Structure 1
């Protein structure tokens, strides 16, 4: 098997050799900027790790699919940042802040086109299956983003609704990244579905950790504005659980802060105190743990030797215990 460092080198080499044009500068400069500010490259890594798990003969055959996943991910982030009015991404100015929203929209569109260009380089006999997986995922990500925005204007959102939304918006991309690698390595249908389930469960747990870090993480490590979800009244697991459990002693104060736009620091601090009183961080941690257990159960059921699955288990543990 290949080491994670070797797989990451393949990804970085592939991204560095995309031959992004120089002009128009605003269009392509913003794309280069988005790709250069990094991120963990987890999703393309999962594609290569899945291909490696099932003993693909040449790991570079899975590289175009991995790059397609990474380009799609950056496309979705660029557009999400506009919709969320986010000032920071990976600790740097978002594209719509550094340029403007119109540039970010066009650049995001082009990243999606670039993703399909990479998919077209995959083995022809695998393309129907890969496109079906990729297109299903892309549609679901859009559905999840729409639900996320809809939730902002809904008075009441249930925990099950929220979990369904994050499955669509965040988790299916991780599952599909793995699924595509498995398809390229000729895994059985059962194993393709199991590794997809593993990725989806990891993705939900990852998003729950993201919700927790938005409030309780260190902005210097997390790379995002602390309490951005609170300031946007975003229906995260923490807020939904708080609204469900707050009694008459806390609910009026929580409602009052939700109805105000600031001052920002005061709002974040006050809502965090209410979260602490309601124990919603602990509830989110418990929910995260349930999905971690589901993920490992799916991974354990995959029909390859346990030692071959160790890198995926280790990566999942690293992702789900992160502070940034």
Structure 2
């Protein structure tokens, strides 16, 4: 009898020990860091099952598809949200599942650079493997129609800025954000513009800003360059700005502007035509828009590059020709 009691006690003690070990192992499983060394990325495509997620974690060498994972799935029945998740050092099983259920996906950034053309922006979007491309081969008019701007030109219609997105975001979604932001900023700047500008509508401000963007990268010069162009518009002078000529040449431009280019007429040639070109020539940033809306006062009608990123401004053609001799011909 005593032997039987002893056996029962030993069995109970063993069962209790095993139970305590299982509880401890279960808690350790949920709270032990998955990845103690460095950041890892988990990508859950739409429709990914719990088992497929665990197998992906196993391929990353941060999990083993054992009974604990299967039990966790049955007890918790987590609702997985598609997306890209960052597994940082210290992330636990429970923490990762909570992160996935809340949809706390990893964020990426894309910078649209001031002065890029529309085509350069598209190429940048298409080259990013995190972005899902849906508009390749779609012409500009059809694309703008998709963006709710039927009949609009695409050039200049997107605000250069840094945009945050999650993996799987489409190129059209990002372009729609940049397009909405440009519409908002252009409306704000136009509403606060100087009232005596020789511009009749926001689109003309956009065109002028794009020229300013391409003419100078110096923040301190934008308003002065704007002032030159505004005075030329007011007096009926041609703008005579090289970036518009280059834009009109398109793929025919080989990197060097020649006299024949300045004499060859096309809609963007401001040497052969008066007024603003028919469309912007680049994507202007907010600073260029503000400069176009608030040009600096002055009497300068000319400017030429000094070759160091800055420009020499002149009031008269004689002064300008002397500056050209010094900074352009002298450099040659």
TM-score range, shorter chain: under 0.3
Higher strand share: 2
Q: Between the two structures, name the one with larger relative contact order (CA 8 Å, sep ≥ 6).
A: 1
Higher helix share: 1
Q: TM-score, normalising length from structure 2?
A: 0.25
Larger Rg belongs to: 2
